[in-house]
A and B are shown apart, each in its own frame.
Chain A
Amino acid sequence: MPKKSHIKKVLIIGSGPIQIGQAAEFDFSGSQACRALREEGVEVVLVNSNPATIQTDPDTADVIYIEPLKAELIAKIIAKEKPDGILSGMGGQTGLNMTAELAEMGALEGVEILGTPLEAIYRGEDREQFRDLMNAIGEPVPRSMILESMNQIDEAISEVGLPAIIRPAYTLGGSGGGVAHTPEEMRRIIEIGLARSRIHQVLVEESVAGWKEIEFEVMRDAADTCIIVCGMENVDPMGIHTGESVVVAPILTLRDDEFQTLRTAAIKIIRALDVQGGCNIQFAYRDGDYRIIEVNPRVSRSSALASKATGYPIARVAAKIAIGLRLDEIMNTVTGVTPASFEPAIDYVVVKVPRWPFDKFKSADRTLTTAMKSTGEVMAIGRTVEEAFKKALRSLDNDMQRHTNPSEIRMILTSPTDERFGCLFDAFREGFTVGEVAELTAITPFFLEKIKNIVDLERKLETNFEPEDVRTARRYGFSDEDLQALTKKSVDELAALSGTPTYKMVDTCAAEFPATTPYFYSTWEEGCELSRDGAKKVLILGSGPIRIGQGIEFDYCTVHAVMALREEEGIEVHIVNNNPETVSTDADTSDRLFFEPMQLEDVVNILKKDGYYGVMVQFGGQNSVNLAVPLEAEIRRLDLPTKILGTSPDAMDAAEDRDRFSRLLTRLGIPSPANSSAYSEEEARRMAGEIGYPVLVRPSYVLGGRAMELVHDEAELESYIKEAVRVSRKHPVLIDSFLQNAVEIDVDAVCDGTDVLIGGIMEHIEWAGVHSGDSACVIPPQSLTPSVIARVREYTKKIALGLGVVGLINIQYAVRNDVLYVLEANPRASRTVPFVAKATGIALAKIAAKVMVGRRLADMGVAEPEIEHVAVKEVLLPFNKLPGVDTVLGPEMKSTGEVMGIDYDFGRAYYKACTAADNTLPTTGNVFISVTDEQKEELLPVARKLRELGLSLYGTSGTVDFLTQNGVEANLVRKVQEGSPNVIDAMRSGSIRLIINTPADKASRQDHIQIMRAAVDYGIPYITTLQAARAAAMAIDAIKREEVTLEPLGHYHGLA
C-alpha cells in the first residue's frame, strides 16, 4: 500500500510534564515518531509543554511549540499550521484526550486523525463503550458497572460484589482508583474518582485480584497485518497496576496453547478497534479462563518497555503505519535485512522493576494498588531469571531495608508496598517456604522458586562453597560486591574463579539473522559478541530510573552529549543506562548501547572489554557523578587507558566537599552563607549554635535535596542528625545558615578551563529554602539589579575556573540585601540545562560534551544569549497521585517534572507555565486566601491587585478582617473546624477557582492540610507561597490585557 501521499504535514502532541503515570516513555516514542515521519519526507509540527524532552529539539521536529497542552491553544496552532494529519497515539493518554477534545470542539476539520481513530480512543477509555465492543466480539471482560453518581453505589455492590476495583475514566495511570473491600471504602474511592475523571465517570468491576496479569503489545497496519511484538507477564498478580508491578518478558509460565489463546484474542481486539499502529492489551488469566482488563490504543510505558525488551522500535513503526506504510514495507532497523512484519524472538529474560518515590515521601501511603505511585523503572536483561532479577535490583540504586521479622514480612507480602519485591528475598532468608509465600502473595511459584534459588545460593556462598558455586552465582547475577560480602574473597580471587562477563546482543531475532544495531547486555557465558577494534571510544553514563531529583533532564543531557560527540570526527560514542523509557536507551541514539546496571563494577567491566579513550560522568546526574572518584581509582588500579573526561574527579570533589569548597570561595573572595561540616552529633550542635538558627542541614553527596531539612532549634537538629547520619555514614552532615526571604538564582554554564560560557541566569519565583527543583524560575531575571547580575557572571566565571571545571557547572546563589551568596556549585549537568536550552536556543550540554573532548569555547563561536522574550519554568507536583504527602514545599524536592511557558512578558509566560502545569489561573471568579499573620502585610498588594482585576476574594475571619480594614473587599467563609458550609464545601461545589494558602503555624496546620488535600483532590489550582501569588497576580493582569503569543520556538530564537 503506498504511503498516504496527501499527508505532508503532521501534528504530534507530546505528553507534557513528567508525572507519576506518564514519564519519559512518551519522549522516547514521540522522538522516534518524529524521526520516522521525517524520514518519509513528512513535515512534523510538535506541541509539548515539557522543555526537557528530545522531541522539542530543533533537530527532532520541523516546527516546535512549547505550549500548554490545552485544546483551545492547540486548536489555534492547528489553525495556524494547517497540518494534514494529527498523530494521536504518541503523547500517551494526554495526547489521546487532547485529540478527542479537539475533535469534539470541531478543531480537526480537514485534519486526518492518524494511527488511533477517534472511536478507538473512546472505546479504549470509555468503559461502557469498551465493554460493549468486547461483548460484540465475544471477548470476556470482568462483570462491571459504570457509575456517574454517588447514588448508584448500592446497585453497584449488588451487581458486581465485593471486593471490587474502581477505575475513573480519563485519568492518567489509573489515578484516583483503588480496590474496595467494604461499602465504606467503595464510597470514599468513588467520590474521589468521580472528581478526578474528566467525564465524571467511574467503573466498578469484578475483582480478578490474584489472577495472572498478562500484557501484549500488538501492531497492526492498514492492510490488516497484525503482529505481537512482545508478550509480558507480571510477577505481581492482578490487583497491582502493571506500572507498579515487577514484569518479565517474554511470558514465562503460559503453555503455548494458553499463550496462543490470548494472542488470538489480542489480534481480534486490535482489529475490532481498527487501530493502525500500536496497541497494548492487558489480560487477567487463571486456569484457562481470561478477562480483557484494559486496552491502550496507543504507545505506552509498556510499549517502551517492549521496544527495549525486544529491540523492536514500536513507535517508529507505528508512526510509519499511521501514514500508510505497511509492516512489510518498513525495514527492521535492528537486523537491517528483514522487514518489520515479523514477531520478535528473544533469547534472554527481561525484568522490569518500578522505582518508587517513598524515599522522598516518608509520610506517603506506600501500599501498591491499581493506581500508579512509581516515578520510573529499571529494566535488566539476563540469560536466567535469577540474573535478570539481581541486575534489576542493582539498577534500582536504592537502599533496601532488610526485613527479618516474620510477622512484618508476612504483612508486607500480603499488603504489598514498594518493599514487597525485596521482601520476597527476605522471606526465603527467614525460612519461609515457596508454598507459604505463594499463598500470601498469589505470585506464581515459578518466580518464587527463582528467588529462592538466589537465597539458597547466598547461604551456600556464606558457608561452604565450591568454585562451581561462584560460577553459578555469576549466572544468577551476583555482583562482585555481593560475592565479596558473602565469600569474603577479594575481587581478584573472584575473577580467577569466574572470569569476566561476556556481552550478548539484543537483535529481535534470537540470532537467526545477523544484526547491525549494537545493543548489548552482559551475562556470564562462553561467547562474547563484542570484539575489540581500534576506534576511539567514549562511554557516557546515563541516569538510570526516573526518580524525584533525577528526572528526564539528565537523559536529555546524556542524549545531547551523544549527539555532540557523534558530530565529532572519529569518536565512537557508547551509552550505559538501564531505564527503558528513555531516548538514550533507544538503540540508534548511540554507536553502542549497554543495557546494564550502573554500579562501579558494571561500568568497569565495560571499560575492561575495550580500550576506551574516555568516560563521561557529568551528564547522568548525581549518581553518575558519585562514580567519578571510585571510577578513577579503579581505572588507575587496573591500568586502563581510559580518562574521566572533563572536570577531574578531584575538582568534582572540591565542589562537593564543603570544607574544600569554602576554602575556594574564601580565596576567591565570594560570600557564602555561614556553613560547616559536622562529623558527629556533638560537633553539629556546636556548629549550628555558632551559625545561628534556623539552619539548613543535609548529608553530603545528596541527590535532589534528599534528607535536606530546615531546622529551627536544637531539638529538631538532634532528631534530624540521627536520621541523616544513618542515611550516610561515610559523609559528614552539612550545616548551612538559612537565608530568609532571599531571592534564589540558578546559573548553568560551560567552562573549557580558559573561558566560561554562561548559558542562562534564572531567577527563582519562590524564595531560597524551597528546593531549586521545586521552585518556578524565569529567564531572564525579572527583579535583579544589573549589579547583582554582573556579580553572578563574575562569580560564576571565577568559581568555574577556580574549580578547574571542564564541561558543565550549575551554581545556585541567593541574594539578600544586595549581597550575593553562593549556595552550592555542581560541576555537572543540572536539571535546568534543557530549560535553558529551550528558553535561549543554546544547546549547553552539546557544547559541554565538545569541550570535554578538547574543543575550545573560543573556537565554537558561542556567546551568552541575550533574549527579548521571557521563559518561565514551573514544576509539576505529585500530590494528586500520592495520598498522605505533605503539600508544603521545602528543601526536600517533591516535584516530578517541569513545564515551560514562553512569551514576550513575564505575566503571560508565567500564566502559560501555570496552565501547562495544570494549575490554570482564573481570570474571573472566587479566590480563597489564607496566609499567616506575618505575611498579611505582604499579602495586601497582591489581594488589592486581584480585586482590581475583578476577582472576588474569600477568606476566614483573620484574613478577611485584615483585608477589609485595609480597604480590600473580602468575603467570609467558615474554617474547616467551624462546621459546614465551610471552605471545603465551597471548594467541593466548584465555586472556588483558586486557593492561595501558605504553610500555616501549628494552630491552623490541620486546616491547611485539609484545604490543600481538597484542592488536590478536586483539581483546584493552588498557590502555596506569597511570591507565587504575586507572580500569579501579574500573570492574571497580563492575560487580561493581551492574549498569549502562539509562535513556534524558532520564532523566539530567531529574534534573539
Chain B
Amino acid sequence: MKAVLGLEDGTFVVGDGFGVEGTCSGELVFTTQMTGYMEALTDPSYAGQILMFTYPLIGNYGVDQQNFESPMVHARGCVAREIAAVPAARPSVADYFEENGLFGISGVDTRSLTIKTRTVGTLRAALIVGSDDGAEAVRRARAVSPIGEVDLIGDVSCSEPYRIAGPGKRIAVIDLGVKRHILESLGHRGADIHVFPHTATPDEVMAAKPDALFVSNGPGDPRRATHAIRCVRDLAGEVPVIGICMGIQVAALALGAETYKMKFGHRGTNQPVRYKDGSIYITTQNHGFAVDEETLPEGCTVSYRNVNDGTVEGFENRDLAITCVQFHPEAHGGPRDTEMHFFDRIYREIP
C-alpha cells in the first residue's frame, strides 16, 4: 500500500502506507527518542500532530499496551523509516494501526525530513494512506489550520471529573491531556487525586478542597487553555500550583507572561536541563511552545533551563507557591532521573 506525505512547502515523499487508507493532517514534528514509540504515540500532547521518529527502526518490540500513556494513539499519523515487520512481541505496530484505524507511512528518508524541519521550522503536513498523489497531499497540507487556531485540548481532556483516591495530600489535576504516568507518579506518593476536565472553573476545583492545583501537559497552543489559565490566575496564592509541560505555559500565561511557538520544539528523551543549583538532568521533552523568559513577572525565577539552547524548562514563584517544569519528570518514555527529584519535592512542599 502506497502512502504520500505532503508538506506545506510544496514537497512530498512517497512511501509505504500502514494502518488504514485515508488522510490525516497536522503539524509534522520529530522526536529523537530511540525507544518508547508507543508511549509517544499515545501521549495526548501529540494530538494534532503527525509524529515522525528520527530513529529508523520503529516497532521492534511490538505494541506494549501496558506502557501506553493513554488508552489510544493521539498522534494523527506516524512517519518512520521502517516499521518492524516481525517484531519481538505481538501485535506489530502495523497491525495495531490497522486494527485501530490509524495512519502511517514508512520507507521514507526521515533524516532528510528532520533536517528540513530543523532548517525551516515545523511544517504543516498531510498524510494520505492508499495514494501517491503528492499534489493532493500538498494541497491538504496547505489547508491545515495553524496549530494555534485549533482546539485540541477538548479532544483529549476527560469530559467528567473523576477521583483516584489516595491517603495523602489532595491534588486537583486539570486534565489538558494528562499522561498516565503523571497521575501514577502523584499516586505513588499517596496523593488523593481529583481530576477535572479542562473546562473546570475555579469554584469547581476549589469545591474539592485541594491542597494543591496541578496543571497537566496537553496538545497545541497553551493560549487555548483558557479555562485552565483562569483557574491558575484565580487560585494562585490560594493553593500551591504545580505544572508540567503545558502546565508551565498555562501558569506563565496566567501570571501575565507570554508563550511563543518554537521553531521546531524539543521532542526526545535526551534533553539536558540545568537546575538552579547547577545540577544537570537528562529529561524527556515534548513541547513546541515555550515560556518567554523576558515576560515572566517579578517574583518568578527560572529554576530549570535547557542546557542546549538556554530556554526556560522550569520556573517558580515562592510567594504564590508555583512550581512548574516544561519537561516530563514522569518519564515514560525516557529517563527517570527527575522522577524522584521533582515529584518528591513538589509533594513534600504541598502544605
A383's nearest neighbour on chain B, judged by CB, is B56
- A224 smallest CB distance to B (angstroms): 7
Asked if residues A254 and B61 are in contact (CB atoms below 8 Å), the reply is yes
Asked if residues B280 and A341 are in contact (CB atoms below 8 Å), the reply is yes
Is B55 in contact with chain A by the CB < 8 A criterion?
A: yes
Is A514 in contact with chain B by the CB < 8 A criterion?
A: yes
Chain B residues with CB below 8 A from A526, complex form = 13, 109, 112
Is B110 in contact with chain A by the CB < 8 A criterion?
A: yes
Is B150 in contact with chain A by the CB < 8 A criterion?
A: no
Asked if residues A345 and B86 are in contact (CB atoms below 8 Å), the reply is no
Asked if residues A227 and B282 are in contact (CB atoms below 8 Å), the reply is yes
Is B32 in contact with chain A by the CB < 8 A criterion?
A: yes
Asked if residues A342 and B54 are in contact (CB atoms below 8 Å), the reply is no
Given contacts A256-B332, A339-B308, A345-B32, contact A223 B279 (CB under 8 A): yes
Asked if residues B111 and A511 are in contact (CB atoms below 8 Å), the reply is yes
Given contacts A252-B60, A255-B61, A349-B57, contact A509 B32 (CB under 8 A): yes
Asked if residues B308 and A260 are in contact (CB atoms below 8 Å), the reply is no
Is B17 in contact with chain A by the CB < 8 A criterion?
A: no
Is B345 in contact with chain A by the CB < 8 A criterion?
A: no
Is B36 in contact with chain A by the CB < 8 A criterion?
A: yes
Is B271 in contact with chain A by the CB < 8 A criterion?
A: yes
Q: Mark A440-455, 1 if CB is under 8 A from B, else 0.
A: 0000111001000000
Contact of A328 among B36, B67, B88, B272 (CB under 8 A): B272
Asked if residues B54 and A345 are in contact (CB atoms below 8 Å), the reply is yes
Is A347 in contact with chain B by the CB < 8 A criterion?
A: yes
Given contacts A512-B114, A526-B13, contact A344 B270 (CB under 8 A): yes
Is A904 in contact with chain B by the CB < 8 A criterion?
A: no
Is A348 in contact with chain B by the CB < 8 A criterion?
A: yes
Asked if residues A338 and B88 are in contact (CB atoms below 8 Å), the reply is no
- B266 smallest CB distance to A (angstroms): 9
Q: Mark A201-244, 1 if CB is under 8 A from B, else 0.
A: 00000000000000000000001111110000000000000000
Q: Mark A320-334, 1 if CB is under 8 A from B, else 0.
A: 000000111000000
Asked if residues B111 and A525 are in contact (CB atoms below 8 Å), the reply is yes
Please report the C-alpha to C-alpha distance between residue A343 and residue B270 in the assembled complex, in whole angstroms.
Answer: 5
- B62 smallest CB distance to A (angstroms): 9
Number of interface residues of B (CB under 8 A): 50
Asked if residues B279 and A514 are in contact (CB atoms below 8 Å), the reply is no
Contact of B56 among A255, A339, A347 (CB under 8 A): A347
Please report the C-alpha to C-alpha distance between residue A520 and residue B185 in the assembled complex, in whole angstroms.
Answer: 42
Please report the C-alpha to C-alpha distance between residue A326 and residue B279 in the assembled complex, in whole angstroms.
Answer: 10
Chain B residues with CB below 8 A from A514, complex form = 118
Contact of A384 among B30, B33, B56, B86 (CB under 8 A): B56
Contact of B307 among A250, A255, A339, A348 (CB under 8 A): A339
Is A263 in contact with chain B by the CB < 8 A criterion?
A: yes
Contact of B308 among A225, A257, A511, A513 (CB under 8 A): A513
Given contacts A511-B114, A512-B268, A525-B112, contact A253 B60 (CB under 8 A): yes
- B86 smallest CB distance to A (angstroms): 4
Chain B residues with CB below 8 A from A267, complex form = 337
B115's nearest neighbour on chain A, judged by CB, is A511
Q: Considering the complex, which residues of chain A in the window 335-365 have a beta carbon less than 8 Å from any beta carbon of chain B?
A: 337-339, 341-349
Please report the C-alpha to C-alpha distance between residue A510 and residue B57 in the assembled complex, in whole angstroms.
Answer: 13
Asked if residues B86 and A256 are in contact (CB atoms below 8 Å), the reply is no
Chain A residues with CB below 8 A from B32, complex form = 345, 347, 509-510, 512
Is A592 in contact with chain B by the CB < 8 A criterion?
A: no
| Residue with the highest number of chain A CB atoms closer than 10 Å, among B35, B39, B61, B332 | B35
Chain B residues with CB below 8 A from A255, complex form = 35-36, 61, 64, 67
- B123 smallest CB distance to A (angstroms): 15
Please report the C-alpha to C-alpha distance between residue A595 and residue B149 in the assembled complex, in whole angstroms.
Answer: 46
Chain A residues with CB below 8 A from B34, complex form = 250-251, 345-346
- B65 smallest CB distance to A (angstroms): 11
Contact of B279 among A225, A259, A339 (CB under 8 A): A225
Asked if residues B56 and A259 are in contact (CB atoms below 8 Å), the reply is no
- B338 smallest CB distance to A (angstroms): 12
Q: Mark B94-111, 1 if CB is under 8 A from A, else 0.
A: 000000000000000111
- A315 smallest CB distance to B (angstroms): 21
Is B91 in contact with chain A by the CB < 8 A criterion?
A: no
Please report the C-alpha to C-alpha distance between residue A719 and residue B304 in the assembled complex, in whole angstroms.
Answer: 75
Is B2 in contact with chain A by the CB < 8 A criterion?
A: no
Asked if residues B336 and A264 are in contact (CB atoms below 8 Å), the reply is yes
Please report the C-alpha to C-alpha distance between residue A346 and residue B334 in the assembled complex, in whole angstroms.
Answer: 15
Chain A residues with CB below 8 A from B67, complex form = 255-257
Please report the C-alpha to C-alpha distance between residue A527 and residue B35 in the assembled complex, in whole angstroms.
Answer: 24
Chain A residues with CB below 8 A from B308, complex form = 337-339, 342, 513
- A758 smallest CB distance to B (angstroms): 51
Please report the C-alpha to C-alpha distance between residue A514 and residue B114 in the assembled complex, in whole angstroms.
Answer: 11
Is A504 in contact with chain B by the CB < 8 A criterion?
A: yes
Q: Considering the complex, which residues of chain B in the window 225-252 have a beta carbon less than 8 Å from any beta carbon of chain A?
A: none
- B268 smallest CB distance to A (angstroms): 6
Please report the C-alpha to C-alpha distance between residue A420 and residue B158 in the assembled complex, in whole angstroms.
Answer: 55
Please report the C-alpha to C-alpha distance between residue A346 and residue B34 in the assembled complex, in whole angstroms.
Answer: 8
Chain A residues with CB below 8 A from B55, complex form = 250, 345-347, 510
Please report the C-alpha to C-alpha distance between residue A343 and residue B55 in the assembled complex, in whole angstroms.
Answer: 14
Is B84 in contact with chain A by the CB < 8 A criterion?
A: yes
Is A385 in contact with chain B by the CB < 8 A criterion?
A: yes
Chain B residues with CB below 8 A from A339, complex form = 272, 307-308
Please report the C-alpha to C-alpha distance between residue A504 and residue B112 in the assembled complex, in whole angstroms.
Answer: 9
Is B274 in contact with chain A by the CB < 8 A criterion?
A: yes
Asked if residues B332 and A257 are in contact (CB atoms below 8 Å), the reply is yes
Asked if residues A260 and B278 are in contact (CB atoms below 8 Å), the reply is no
Contact of B35 among A259, A344, A347, A510 (CB under 8 A): A259
Q: Mark B33-70, 1 if CB is under 8 A from A, else 0.
A: 11110010000000000000011110011001001000
Chain B residues with CB below 8 A from A510, complex form = 32, 54-55, 111, 114, 268
Chain B residues with CB below 8 A from A449, complex form = 85-86
Chain A residues with CB below 8 A from B82, complex form = 383-384
Contact of A446 among B86, B115, B337 (CB under 8 A): B86
Chain B residues with CB below 8 A from A342, complex form = 270-272, 282, 307-308
Chain A residues with CB below 8 A from B114, complex form = 347, 510-512
Asked if residues A446 and B270 are in contact (CB atoms below 8 Å), the reply is no
Please report the C-alpha to C-alpha distance between residue A326 and residue B278 in the assembled complex, in whole angstroms.
Answer: 10
Please report the C-alpha to C-alpha distance between residue A527 and residue B113 in the assembled complex, in whole angstroms.
Answer: 9
Please report the C-alpha to C-alpha distance between residue A482 and residue B293 in the assembled complex, in whole angstroms.
Answer: 58
Is B335 in contact with chain A by the CB < 8 A criterion?
A: yes
Q: Mark B173-210, 1 if CB is under 8 A from A, else 0.
A: 00000000000000000000000000000000000000
Asked if residues A525 and B109 are in contact (CB atoms below 8 Å), the reply is yes
Asked if residues B36 and A446 are in contact (CB atoms below 8 Å), the reply is no
Please report the C-alpha to C-alpha distance between residue A455 and residue B274 in the assembled complex, in whole angstroms.
Answer: 49
Q: Mark A509-534, 1 if CB is under 8 A from B, else 0.
A: 11111100000000001110100000
Asked if residues A345 and B56 are in contact (CB atoms below 8 Å), the reply is no
Is B81 in contact with chain A by the CB < 8 A criterion?
A: yes
Please report the C-alpha to C-alpha distance between residue A958 and residue B282 in the assembled complex, in whole angstroms.
Answer: 72
Please report the C-alpha to C-alpha distance between residue A124 and residue B88 in the assembled complex, in whole angstroms.
Answer: 33
B62's nearest neighbour on chain A, judged by CB, is A255
Chain A residues with CB below 8 A from B57, complex form = 252, 349, 384-385
Given contacts A223-B278, A256-B67, A345-B268, contact A444 B88 (CB under 8 A): yes
- B288 smallest CB distance to A (angstroms): 14
Asked if residues B118 and A345 are in contact (CB atoms below 8 Å), the reply is no
Asked if residues B280 and A327 are in contact (CB atoms below 8 Å), the reply is yes
- A415 smallest CB distance to B (angstroms): 25
Chain A residues with CB below 8 A from B86, complex form = 445-446, 449
- Contacts A250-B55, A344-B270 aside, 18 further interface pairs with beta carbons under 8 A come to A223-B278, A251-B34, A255-B67, A256-B36, A256-B39, A326-B280, A341-B272, A342-B282, A346-B55, A384-B56, A384-B57, A384-B82, A385-B57, A444-B88, A446-B60, A510-B111, A510-B114, A529-B115
Ranked 5 nearest A-B pairs via Cβ = A527-B112, A256-B36, A256-B333, A345-B32, A343-B270
Could you jot down 13 A-B contacts, CB within 8 Å?
A255-B35, A260-B331, A260-B333, A264-B336, A339-B308, A341-B280, A343-B282, A383-B56, A446-B88, A512-B32, A513-B118, A514-B118, A527-B109
